[in-house]
Amino acid sequence: MKKLIAGNWKMNGSLQANAALMYALLLDASDWACDVAVCVPPTYLSQVQGLVHGSRLDLGAQDVSEHEAGAFTGEVSAGMLKDFGVRYCIVGHSERRHYHQESDATVALKAQRALAAGITPIVCVGETLAQREAGLTEEVVKRQLAAVVHTNGHCISEIVLAYEPVWAIGTGKTASPQEAQQVHHVLRTQLQAASQHADRVRILYGGSMNASNAAALLAQPDIDGGLIGGAALKAPDFLSIVAAAR
Ligand code: 13P
């Protein structure tokens, strides 16, 4: 299966910085063996849509409203994202779950909205350090995925899943390739029970993935790509991860 490397810019960027980063990424695009996307803040969708037009880079968003339209001040709908050529949308990132109290049910609805608009949701799951230390990792990620499976039924094979252990995000601490593979395998098995097309779901790893640890993580049988935070903001770092995804 073709791997996917997606950058999550989080709340970073400016018109000027984005243009420079995109220029450097696009210069390299002819060498890519995997799919590549950048998930940008909503204010920059229009700018980055223009820059990726006709290229191999896909555009992504970082969140979507669980509602279709209406009186939801500040929210952005899946239809609006689609208007700007968005191909992927992260849902349920741990920062949204933590700072915005997004529940498993809300995340599942967001995935449903994205799918209905023809956008591939990148559904994030992952345990906190306390949950890992309490031996709850599998239980937590299974519960998070179960909500998305429950709401999305047979469409589940259309999602991208991302395992992002919260303790590895922005900390420089990565799950070892074996630790990550173990959880990816649990998630794969759960998907297989829900859909006969589960083997085509890409399961990305996210959490301090960088130029030096990417190859070992991506060599694991159930790791089908990466969701990259900090290292996605520097073209050479992001491009070395892309180069490791063959
Ligand atoms: P870092 O790569 O900065 O750890 O962030 C990972 C992440 O949260 C991607 O969504």
Strand partners, 7: 38, 228
Threshold 0.95, pTM exceeds: yes
Question: Residue 220 Cα, ligand 1 centroid: separation in angstroms?
Answer: 19
Residue 221's alpha-carbon distances to 56, 62, 145, 218, in angstroms, are 25, 27, 20, 8
Question: Residue 238 Cα, ligand 1 centroid: separation in angstroms?
Answer: 12
Name, in order, each residue with C-beta under 8 angstroms of 14's C-beta and a sequence gap of 6 or more.
Answer: none
Least confident of 77-81, 122-126, 172-176, 182-186: 172-176
Predicted pLDDT of residue 204: 98
- In the chain, what is the straight-line distance between the N-terminal and C-terminal CA atoms, in Å? 10
- Which of 96, 164, 212 is the pocket-test mutation for ligand 1 (most atoms within 8 Å of CB)? 164
Quote the CATH superfamily of domain 4-244: Aldolase class I (3.20.20.70)
Question: Residue 201 Cα, ligand 1 centroid: separation in angstroms?
Answer: 20
Nearest ligand 1 atom to alpha carbon 227: 9
Q: Mean pLDDT across the stretch 128-151?
A: 97
Nearest ligand 1 atom to alpha carbon 231: 2
- Closest C-alpha residue for ligand 1 atom 9: 229
Nearest ligand 1 atom to alpha carbon 10: 10
Res. 134 pLDDT band, cuts 50 70 90: very high
Q: Mean pLDDT across the stretch 107-122?
A: 98
Res. 245 pLDDT band, cuts 50 70 90: very high
Show which residues are catalytic. Answer: 93, 164
Question: Residue 162 Cα, ligand 1 centroid: separation in angstroms?
Answer: 11
162-205: pLDDT as tens digits: 999 999 999 988 999 999 999 999 999 999 999 999 999 999 99
* DSSP H or E segment with residue 59: strand 57-61
Alpha helices in the chain (DSSP H): 15-27, 45-52, 78-83, 94-99, 104-116, 129-133, 137-152, 177-194, 214-218, 235-244
Residues with a CB atom less than 6 Å from ligand 1: 8, 93, 164, 169-170, 206-209, 227-231
Q: Residue 154 pLDDT > 90, yes or no?
A: no
Res. 31 pLDDT band, cuts 50 70 90: confident
Name the phi and psi angles at 56, rounded to 5. Answer: -90, 0
